[in-house]
Amino acid sequence: MTVPCRPTLTEIAEARARLAPFLDPTPLFRLDIGSTNRRLFLKLETLTPIGAFKFRPALNAILSRDRAELRHGVAVPSSGNMAYAMAWAARAVGVPMAAYMYRDAPAAKVDGVRALGGEVRFVSRATWWSYIVEAARPEGPELFINPVTDPAVLAGNGTIGMEIVEALPGVGTILIPFGGGSMTTGVASAAKSLRPETRVFAVEDTSAAPVGAALAAGAVVQVETRPSFIKSIGGPSVVPQLWPVASGLIEGAIAVPPEQVCEAMRLLFSKAKVVAEGAGAAALAAAFDRQDLSGDIVCLVSGGNIGAADFATVLTGGIPKA
C-alpha cells in the first residue's frame, strides 16, 4: 500500500520545469460579482491541452519515470479526465496506454481516450474503486499509476497552487473540488508552503460527500451515495491512504447540491464564457453558498469536458440525468 507524503516545494518546482515545454500557466480570471468585501478569481484549468487539470499530474507522472519503466506502457484507473490526460501524455512520449473505466463514465472522456490512441478497459465501479484505494491491482505488464497517491501526481497538482500564489500573492481562500483528493493535497501543499495563512476548503457534491463525513467523524467513513451527473467528485469514502495528508491541509468541506452547481455552470458561461463540467463549477457554487468567506477567493475550475447534450440541458435551466 502506498502511503503518500505531502509534496515539497522542490518536487513541485521540478514538476513545473518538466511541464513547462507543454503548458503555460493557466489564467487566473477575476469574476465581477459586484461585491465590496471579496473578490472572486477563477483558476481556469479548462485551458490545458485536454481541458482539465489532470493534464499536469498525468504528464508529470510519465515524464518523471525512467524510460525502462515505461517499456510496456502505462495503465491508470479513472472516471474520465485522468484517463484522457494519461492518453495524451503516453502519446506524447510514444508508449501504449490503458485506462480502467466504469461503463457509465462520461462518453466525452471515453471518446477522448480512444481518440488519443488509448485502450479503454471497462470494469465495474467496485473494481475501479478497489484499484483507486489499492485494495486490488489490475493484471497486465503496464506500469500502473495510481491517480490519487502517486507522488508525481501530487507534485504535478502542486504546480497549480504555485501558479495561484505567484499570480495572486494575497490569496486568502482557495476552493477546490475534491474527488480522490490529489488535487487538493497538491494545491494546498504548494499554497500553504508559499503563503501559510491561505485557507483551503474541499468542495463536494451533496450526492456523495465523504470529506465532510470524515471530518465530522474524525476518521474515514463510508457514506451513502446518490446518482449524480457530477462524476469527478465524491465517492463512497475518502481514499484512506491520502486522507491523513489531505485532512491536515484543509480548513473544512463545503457540499453543494447539483442544482447549485448547474447555476454556477450557467454563470460561468454567461459572465466568463467558460464551459465547465459539473465538478469544474462546484468551487464557484461553493463560493456563492458561503457568503461568509471574504477577501481574495480562488475557485479552481478543474475541467470543461462535458458532452454537448448535457451542457445544453444545463444552459436551458435543467439538470442532466445521472
Residue 47's alpha-carbon distances to 1, 55, 78, 294, in angstroms, are 34, 10, 20, 27
**Model confidence over 222-276: pLDDT tens digits?**
999 999 999 889 888 999 999 999 999 999 999 999 999 999 999 999 999 999 9
Q: β-strands 173-177, 28-31: how paired?
A: unpaired
pLDDT at 4 > cutoff 70: yes
Hey, do 9-52+151-315 and 55-144 end up sharing a CATH topology, with the first three levels equal? yes
**Using CA atoms, how far apart are residues 83 and 216, in angstroms rounded to an integer?**
32
Distance of alpha carbon 110 from the chain centroid: 17
Instruction: Kindly indicate the confidence band of residue 5, based on its pLDDT and cuts at 50, 70 and 90.
Output: confident
**Using CA atoms, how far apart are residues 16 and 12, in angstroms rounded to an integer?**
6
Q: 19 and 198 in contact (C-beta within 8 Å)?
A: no
Q: Which string of DSSP letters, residue by residue, matches 187-200?
A: HHHHHHHH-TT-EE
Domain ranges for the chain, please list them: 9-52+151-315, 55-144
Q: What angle do CA 258, 208, 311 make, to 5 degrees?
A: 30
Among 315, 303, 216, CA closest to 269: 315
Please report, rounded to a whole number, the percentage of residues in the chain having pLDDT higher than 90. Answer: 85
**Using CA atoms, how far apart are residues 92 and 86, in angstroms rounded to an integer?**
10
Strands across the sheet containing 28-31? 28-31, 38-44, 295-301, 173-177, 199-205, 252-256
Instruction: Kindly indicate the confidence band of residue 289, based on its pLDDT and cuts at 50, 70 and 90.
Output: very high
As a residue count, the chain comes to: 322
**Model confidence over 142-154: pLDDT tens digits?**
999 999 999 999 9
**More confident: 163 or 78:** 163
What would the mean pLDDT of 179-195 be, rounded to a whole number? 96
**Model confidence over 56-100: pLDDT tens digits?**
999 999 999 999 999 999 999 997 889 999 999 999 999 999 999
pTM: predicted TM-score of the whole model, two decimal places:
0.94
CATH number of the domain located at residue range(s) 9-52+151-315 in this protein: 3.40.50.1100
For the chain, how big is the Rg over CA atoms in Å?
18
CATH number of the domain located at residue range(s) 55-144 in this protein: 3.40.50.1100
Q: 166 and 215 in contact (C-beta within 8 Å)?
A: no
Residues with Cβ within 8 Å of residue 312, at least 6 apart in sequence? none
**Using CA atoms, how far apart are residues 50 and 162, in angstroms rounded to an integer?**
20
Query: What confidence score (pLDDT) does residue 140 get?
Result: 86
Axis crossing angle, helix 107-115 with helix 81-93, rounded to the nearest 10: 10
